[in-house]
Amino acid sequence: MNQIPRIDPRRPFVITAAGLRRITLGETGSADPNAAHWSAHGHGTAARPRRAVSDPRHVLLVVAHSERGALDDHACQALAAAALLADAQTEVALLVFGELKDDAAPLGADKVIALPTFDRRAFAPDAELRALLACAAALSPKHLFLPDNATGDGDLGRRYAAATGASVATHVVEIDAGHVGTYAQVKRAFATRSLPDVILLAPGAVDTKLPFTGAGESLSGDFLLGIGDGAQPYRDLGLEEIDAAQVALEEADFIVSAGNGVADIGAFEQLAGVFGAAIAASRVAVDNGHFTRDKQVGATGKTVEASVYIAFGISGAVQHLQGIKDCRHVIAVNLDGSAPIAKRANLTIVGDANETIAALMAAVQAARRTNGRAPAAASVREPLGAAA
């Protein structure tokens, strides 16, 4: 199957701070030129004003699971959708299943309820539904927004709609204050309707750049504590660990990637095994015969979305960067601190890839020998002459 994502020629409009927009033949097209509700400028690093809310009468409730204390991009889009649609009498509340370490105010949330006792990796749909029903009963939201994903939120939104008889729209690809749109008949038709009670958003329907922030006030989730307890009609046997090498690159959360600068491929593969990371490669490393074509990341390879992507001896050519644009943390190991990958990387280790691989392996093994205690950071970095 061809995995290369293609632009949908009939793609819907994306809701942005300047209204519904899409790029048409290199130009930005607008669904309604008068729709700009907020200025699209000023949402970079400059301080943004707080969205004005006075005499709040309504609530838009955004619900999402967190992953290791953070919301993923899709969840942030659901939050941005609510924030963009909220008027001056409407507050945006965020209910998070799991721990939330990040500040949700810049993402547009006015009120935040985090339920750290829940864990995305545990299967507890009934408990989650009970907590959501109780939260909705307390806040009386006008609409619920959830990312329509396969990792808990999409399922929870459907369960909520079924339990309450609420109206629901799934796989929503276009939204504004007046309507939601979704593909129908295997994408041959486009269906629209007015905003339903529960809105399950497809990824990419919302631009998360907001010209304002939310109030970000933390609310105690104590009133929801214990609601999730109680007998479950099933037993959660937990997650089954599989060999990282078996995970499709597009699904891998932790990837180590080799480029032309990696000489000892055996040591690199060993490191991947020690880390439990999936293996990827640049096109040159694939062309050299070190890896099979399915490991290639980039414009003519795969697009990956790992939380951590370590690029060993990869220059960061534009075609390679295209494949890692959605990765959360990129770590580069390169002899050349001015290689293009350093501009994309969140952390650059200026050093030899092969020495770094050996040092990392020694550090992990030493840590495991001392009963799983984490290695001291200096023991990893000192021999490498690491520079952030």
Interface with ligand FAD (CB under 6 A): 259-261, 282-285, 296-301, 313-315, 317, 319-320, 323, 333-336, 339, 352-354
Q: Which is nearer to ligand FAD, 111 or 283 (CB)?
A: 283
Q: Which is nearer to ligand FAD, 228 or 261 (CB)?
A: 261
Q: Which is nearer to ligand FAD, 133 or 384 (CB)?
A: 384
What residues contact 202, with CB distance under 8 A and at least 6 apart? 148, 171, 172, 173, 182
Q: What is the closest distance, in whole angstroms, from the C-beta atom of residue 254 to ligand FAD in the complex?
A: 19
Q: What is the closest distance, in whole angstroms, from the C-beta atom of residue 203 to ligand FAD in the complex?
A: 22
Q: Which is nearer to ligand FAD, 213 or 296 (CB)?
A: 296
Q: Edge-to-edge, what's the strand order for the sheet holding 58-65?
A: 168-172, 198-201, 143-147, 58-65, 90-97, 111-115, 217-218
Q: Which is nearer to ligand FAD, 113 or 321 (CB)?
A: 321
Q: How many residues does the chain have?
A: 388
Q: What is the closest distance, in whole angstroms, from the C-beta atom of residue 297 to ligand FAD in the complex?
A: 6
| Contact between 283 and 319 (Cβ < 8 Å) | yes
Tokens linked to 370: 């001392």
Residue type, 200: L
Characterise 301 by phi-psi region: left (phi > 0), alpha (psi -120 to 50), beta (else): beta
Task: List own/partner pairs for 16-24 with CB under 8 A and 24 or more apart.
Answer: 16/40, 16/84, 16/206, 16/207, 16/209, 17/43, 17/84, 17/207, 17/209, 17/210, 17/211, 19/176, 20/174, 20/176, 21/207
Residue 240 and residue 242: Cα distance in Å, rounded?
6
Question: Shortest CA distance to 307 belongs to which of 255, 245, 373?
Answer: 255
Q: Which is nearer to ligand FAD, 166 or 263 (CB)?
A: 263
Q: What is the closest distance, in whole angstroms, from the C-beta atom of residue 367 to ligand FAD in the complex?
A: 24
Q: How many CB atoms lie within 10 A of CB 262?
A: 25
Q: What is the closest distance, in whole angstroms, from the C-beta atom of residue 26 to ligand FAD in the complex?
A: 20
Q: What is the closest distance, in whole angstroms, from the C-beta atom of residue 268 to ligand FAD in the complex?
A: 11
Ranges of beta strands (E only) in 220-364 are 254-258, 278-281, 308-312, 329-334, 347-350
Q: Which residue is nearest to ligand FAD (CB)?
A: 298
Q: Which is nearer to ligand FAD, 136 or 353 (CB)?
A: 353
Q: What is the DSSP letter of 250?
A: G
| Contact between 194 and 97 (Cβ < 8 Å) | no
Q: What is the closest distance, in whole angstroms, from the C-beta atom of residue 332 to ligand FAD in the complex?
A: 9
Question: Shortest CA distance to 332 belongs to which of 318, 352, 302, 303?
Answer: 352
Q: What is the closest distance, in whole angstroms, from the C-beta atom of residue 294 to ligand FAD in the complex?
A: 12
Q: Which is nearer to ligand FAD, 317 or 362 (CB)?
A: 317
